[in-house]
Chains A and B, each alone.
Chain A
Amino acid sequence: MRIKRIAILALVATLALGNVFAQKTELNFWTWRPEDTEKYQALLASFEKQNPGVTVKISAFKNTEYNTILSAALAGGSGPDVFQSRAYGGLETFAQSGYLEPLDAWVPELKGFDKAPLGGATSIKDGKVYGVPFASQTLFVFYNKAIYKELGLKVPETWDQFLANLAACKKAGYQALANGGKEGWTLEVMMGSLAPNFYGANDFFQAVVAGKTNFQDPRFKGAMDKLKELTPYMPDLFMGVSYTDMQASFINEMAAHFVGGSFEAGYFSSQNPKLDFGIFAGPVAKAGDPRHVSVYADGNFSMNSGSKKKDAAAKLLKFFASKETGNFFINELKQVSAVPGADTSKSPYIKEVLSLQKFNTPYIFLVGFRYNQPTGSALFQSAAQGFFAGTLSSADLCKQIQDGIATYYAPFQKK
């Protein structure tokens, strides 16, 4: 009698619970791109249609505060079910702290992804994949096609041609280069776009990561000296020129070149739809040399290991690994999707970026040296400001980077 009652109760409970699950599962999804929220909502609506019973609530946070807020929420035992996570060192923090769910089993689609973007989603500690990579970024030079046409310039292949073009633009009264140095990271982008062809791209990268050489290598120092040759073509008092100023001068067609990343294009076009810009990879010493561009994984979608809705979260992540999301990145966000086989036919720009990636090399400090403090990026950015302002020599610059990284990087420590 009693047993029967309990059994009935249990049955009712199971049914009720089952009902709850069947009714609705709401996933929380966090991103650091408030500017894309509206577009994401359209994508997520498509997901919800394909997965009845699962809804997604998106919250966007200011990029600069995102890590802090995510840390606080995860450490406090809550946080979103699915969220954007940074690549490389930024991923490591959350992966090693145990807040990320390894995805190898949940999202089998990851097996088809390229090694390069997966590198940004893989922990260097245990080799497990903790994220679905969403985009890769490429660093190169934007140029204004109208100005090139007006001055009869040709897209440069060698460094000397590049300098000659800059000189011609300057002479014609244009700002030859938009780039300034108020924010150190724009200098790092400049290094990533233009230096690899002079420091020896992948050869140097592999050697320096293995500790076979270091940043005081004459190749690296030489590349830095090359960068310094650009200062006459940068704006007046360029150390005071901020990123916003740089964007404004290129968008408003006052500057002929903008050394930047593939992530710029969307904003350029939205601000000035008439702006006709082209792109080229960093110039080389002599014609015919392979022209390398720096490439890095931008970030991933990850799952909170403490989530109570892992099945639904996995559905969302599989969706993020699908071609639909890939196409969304290309067509809506103008980003180079990391999803294999995404369709680039509707976006000539993305196609062009991909063609520049033919010779690619890891964005050196981000990919290799952002796992500990002080990061290679932080060291470069600050010292480069001194270098461009003229208070540090290229030897000082290289030494500061080397000494800073050597405080924790084992391959640099054994002499």
Chain B
Amino acid sequence: MHKKNSEKLWIAFFVSPAMAIVVSIILLPLFMSLFNSLFSWRQLIRDEFVGLENFRRVFFTEPYKTRFSNAIGNNATWLGVTMLVQNTLGLAMGYFLSRRIRGSEFYKRIIFIPVLFSIVAVGFLWGLYLKPNGLLNGFLKLIGSPEMARAWLGDEKLATFSIIAVNIWRWVGFPSLVFLAAIDSVPTECLEAAWMDGAKDRTVFFRIILPLIVPSILIITVLTIVGSLNVFEQIYTMAGLDGSPNYSTDTIGTLFYRTGFGSVDSGNPEIGVGSAIGVIIYFLTLAASLVSIMSLGKQEVEL
């Protein structure tokens, strides 16, 4: 009984400082602002309680209906492509780095550098590389296929993918390093035993390494979900708040911001509808994260 009490005190000691800050600075204002979704608004002044009316408007009335489904489709693209390309690439990179291929010490020190760039620099520099007479099109001309040249950021079909590609360039180092750290902490005995038994690299990877790094896969998955459903800065700097061209890069993040705060030059923020979109993002992200935590959590191997 006494032991139990001291443990409770220890838990409180460890958890409460962070809890106090997160609750008062993040959750409180966030819920205050989400609460706004239940009211109608007169410009910046809260009017009257309208229940779920704002949610009805998001889902069932124009123009929000079209904008919302378009945006969420783009978020799905972000999630799919990032999961598939960035995280697979990151896993492969982490694996090869852990296998100490030649130069791995150097690569390890390099691959996170793109994250260090300010998003402003990323937006401008990649804008230069991807513009019609930019580096990429120049390169295509050089290798003799000028017909492949595109307006990478101005073409409705390509813009989202171009921005995702830049984002992968920027972030792939992160999953790489997470997986590297995880693979490196797989006990060497496990691997050695497998190799002694003559197991192939592929078998070792899929049978031993992968199951043991499930916690990091979980971390990366959840962060990818959060990142993909909240993507904002990348679009804002490379395509603008309107998800140019013609809403083809619009996401719920930009839609939310535009609706709740109004765009740059136009007035009348729709705070009620904007907050409703915020609530939707919030619970969507939470639900997707919980599903992945629960399904991946089952795969975890206790050491």
Give the B-binding residues of A (Cβ under 8 A): 63-64, 67-68, 71, 74-75, 86, 88-94, 96-99, 180-185, 235-242, 245, 366, 370-375, 377-378, 381-383, 385-386, 389, 391-392, 403-404, 407
Contact = CB atoms under 8 A, between A and B. Distances in A.
Nearest to B137: A237
B32 to A, nearest CB: 12
A89 B266 contact: yes
Contacts of B264: 63-64, 67
Interface in B205-247: 240-242, 244-247
Given A237-B132, A240-B154, A404 B44 contact: no
Nearest to A240: B151
Contacts of B63: 373-374, 404, 407
Contacts of A182: 151, 153-154, 244-245
6 contacts: A68-B261, A93-B267, A182-B244, A240-B132, A240-B150, A386-B156
Contacts of A89: 266-268
A382 B269 contact: no
A224 to B, nearest CB: 15
B167 interface: no
Interface in B239-258: 240-242, 244-247
Contacts of B131: 240-242, 245
A93 B44 contact: yes
B242 A184 contact: yes
B16 interface: no
Interface string B266-285: 11111000000000000000
Contacts of B242: 184, 378, 381-382
Nearest to B131: A240
A225 to B, nearest CB: 18
Nearest to B62: A407
A241 B266 contact: no
A390 B281 CA distance: 33
B239 to A, nearest CB: 8
Given A86-B267, A391-B246, A403-B62, 10 more contacts: A90-B262, A93-B267, A184-B246, A238-B151, A240-B153, A245-B131, A372-B268, A374-B63, A377-B265, A382-B245
Interface string B98-138: 00000000000000000000000000000100111100010
Contacts, number: 141
Contacts of B269: 71, 93, 373
Nearest to A74: B44
Contacts of A88: 267
A326 to B, nearest CB: 24
Given A181-B245, A184-B244, A373-B270, A94 B44 contact: yes
A96 B261 contact: no
A385 B248 CA distance: 10
A181 B154 contact: yes
Contact of B267 (A92, A185, A237): A92
Q: Is the interface of B mostly helix, strand, loop or mixed?
A: loop
B259 interface: yes
B245 A237 contact: no
B156 A389 contact: yes
Contacts of A98: 45
A374 B63 CA distance: 7
Contact of B263 (A240, A241, A366, A378): A378
B43 interface: yes
Nearest to A91: B267
A386 B246 contact: yes
A220 to B, nearest CB: 19
B268 A373 contact: yes
Contacts of A68: 261
Nearest to B153: A240
B71 to A, nearest CB: 13
Contacts of A377: 265-266
A370 B132 contact: no
Given A93-B267, A181-B154, A236-B132, A75 B62 contact: no
A97 B44 CA distance: 6
Given A94-B44, A240-B130, A240-B131, A389 B266 contact: no
Which interface residue of B61, B242, B259 has the most chain A CB atoms within 10 A? Answer: B242
B165 interface: no
A235 B266 CA distance: 29
A99 B44 contact: yes
Nearest to A180: B154
Contacts of A183: 240, 244
B192 interface: no
A170 to B, nearest CB: 16
Given A71-B261, A89-B266, A92-B267, A239 B154 contact: yes
B152 interface: yes
Contacts of A71: 44, 261, 269
B53 to A, nearest CB: 15
Nearest to A381: B242
B8 interface: no
A378 B255 CA distance: 12
Interface in B144-175: 149-156
B44 A371 contact: no
Nearest to A391: B156
Closest 8 CB pairs of A and B: A240-B151, A239-B154, A240-B154, A89-B267, A237-B132, A93-B267, A97-B44, A385-B245
Nearest to A64: B264
